[in-house]
A = this chain, B = another copy of it.
Amino acid sequence: MSENKHLCDCKECVIRNLIFAHLKPGEFEHICHQKSEQHFKKGQIVIEKGQPLEHLIYLKSGLVKYYHQTHDGKNSIISISVPYDAFPLLTIFQNNQHATYNMSVLEDSTLCFIPIELIRQLVLNNGEFAFDFIVKLTETSNKTIQHFITLNNKNLRGRVAYFLLNLSNNIYFKDTFELPVSRKEIAELIGMTTENVIRTLSEFRKEKIIKINGKEIEITEKDRLTKISQYG
């Protein structure tokens, strides 16, 4: 490629290395010109179940949740996504292009919108891209299914422990961190009531397994927490 005054900022984007690793230069430019970025404020709803879906919606910065709402208004969080997570891949290419889940923003976030038609063309014309796409899709799908299986085999203490350990080991990579979500959202994610999330956290505090200061959590006895999570 020759030099270009307006360097496409997609080139800096980490997504590139995740699902766009095998793009040819022309394809890359194309995406860059058709994509758009949008900012959302905490709490804003990005898309609701049933709405027409015309873009692959990717998280550049911030935090989002995908959730399901029952007829009586109870929410179940299916996944909380950090930037460059592959979960959005699961939500496109399905029954006549309508959103399967609700998506809203947990923190102020920047989202990237890429027309689905563009992705479809890439799949059709670039085998390596298609393969990468499938691998990511499979991994994400299995991770999500595994999440549900795991929860169904744990009691309340096990679930809360599992949630805390997941944050510590897979997201923040340290033992002290800020909870990115409310107690209510924890409850919706791990399938219990808000009261019982709080109760269980308090128990852990009294048992000196964790320290709590508002949204700040410090895991002081990771071994015990791990055992509780494994439950037996």
Contact = CB atoms under 8 A, between A and B. Distances in A.
Interface in A117-143: 120, 123-128, 130-131, 133-135, 137-139, 141-142
Nearest to A72: B232
Number of copies: 2
A148 interface: yes
A184 interface: no
B142 A70 contact: no
Interface in A48-78: 68, 70-72, 74, 76, 78
Given A138-B94, A149-B68, A125 B123 contact: no
Chain A: interface residue count, which band? 35 or more
A138 B92 CA distance: 8
A142 B72 contact: no
A196 to B, nearest CB: 15
A20 interface: no
Contacts of A134: 93, 123, 130, 133-134, 137
A144 interface: yes
Interface in A8-33: none
A78 B149 contact: yes
A115 interface: no
B142 A100 contact: yes
A94 B127 CA distance: 17
A76 B138 contact: no
Interface of A: 68, 70-72, 74, 76, 78, 90, 92-95, 100, 120, 123-128, 130-131, 133-135, 137-139, 141-142, 144-146, 148-149, 152-153, 191, 230, 232
Given A148-B148, A152-B191, 6 more contacts: A90-B142, A93-B134, A95-B139, A123-B127, A125-B127, A145-B145
16 contacts: A71-B232, A74-B153, A76-B149, A76-B152, A78-B145, A90-B142, A93-B135, A93-B138, A94-B135, A94-B138, A100-B146, A124-B130, A130-B130, A133-B134, A141-B144, A145-B148
